[in-house]
Structure 1
Amino acid sequence: MKEYRYKINGNLYKVTVGDIEDNNVRVEVNGTPYTVELEKQNKPKIKPVVRTASTTPAAPPAAVTRPASVGSKSGIKSPLPGVILEIKVKEGDTVKRGQTLLVLEAMKMENDIKADRDGKVTAIKVSKGESILEGTDLIIIE
């Protein structure tokens, strides 16, 4: 079971996600149990590619590469769902690798979220008291 806290239109909701059986999930919202039916996902149909002598390219296709990141901006992501307790930096601050950027409460524990590199804070994507999910961008460092 996983527990989450969500704030929707100023109201706090405690959501517990329980067992999943077929397409049904047992969920409890603020102590009230529900059974939620998940939408079935259609698997995409894959068409086989048949190459003939007339469609075979003369040279192999170029490898797909990621462009080099200019300015090397990237976000510090939340390692787990929780609630933002404190933000210790402001936009424009210069930070060092290992410096605590914010405090995240998850599973009744306070977790320091630290910078993974030296840089400048260009954006703060969350606010104090906000409930967030795992993988949410928290702070952008350039």
Structure 2
Amino acid sequence: MKAFKFIIKGQKYDVTVNETDENQLDVDVNGTTYKVEVEQNATTKKTPKLVRKPVTKSPGEGKLKKSEGGSYKVKAPLPGSIMKINVKPGDTVIKGQTLLVMEAMKMENNIQAEKEGTVADIKVKEGDSVLQDDVLLEME
């Protein structure tokens, strides 16, 4: 429902428009109701329609890559220095076992194995300073 106030040739009109069908309206003019049929001309939309080319995927795109089962890298969680190494290459470790002790922010931090495996290579030695995400050792 829409209400309008018109002044035509000095005469005031209170008009209320009620839509009943697609092209039929009930128009109330100063208390008198009229049924009005609207003649609709084709209107063009001012908003342009966005047309895009279909997306084509390159071969292999969107597929998960499986790891080749290579080594698992244990990385430093924060900068610090290596105080003690508890394993050597060839040792079998279990999940949760302490691999090395690292001093960071004046605290000793135990670096533990996140999964079971065999120590393949140790990249640091006691006393080394490491940065965050530096590789400490590799496991298979």
| TM-score, L = length of structure 2 | 0.57
Distance in 1, Cα, partners of 2:55 & 2:79:
50
Q: CA 1:58 to 1:65, structure 2 compared with 1: closer, same or farther past 3 Å? A: closer
Q: Is the radius of gyration larger for structure 1 or structure 2?
A: 2
Give the match for residue 25 of structure 2. Answer: none
**Structure 2: which 5+ residue stretches go unaligned?**
1-52
What's the CA shift for 1:58? 9.2
**Mapped pair 1:61 → 2:64:** no
* Identity %, equivalent residues: 47
Q: CA 1:58 to 1:75, structure 2 compared with 1: closer, same or farther past 3 Å? A: closer
SS for the counterpart of 1:111 is strand
What's the CA shift for 1:74? 1.4
**Structure 1: which 5+ residue stretches go unaligned?**
1-55
Residue 93 (structure 2) aligned to one of 77, 80, 95: 95
User: What is the aligned residue count?
Assistant: 89
Backbone CA RMSD of aligned residues:
2.2
Distance in 1, Cα, partners of 2:56 & 2:110:
52
Give the match for residue 133 of structure 2. Answer: 135
Q: CA 1:58 to 1:78, structure 2 compared with 1: closer, same or farther past 3 Å? A: closer
Alignment of 1:6-21 (within 5 A): none
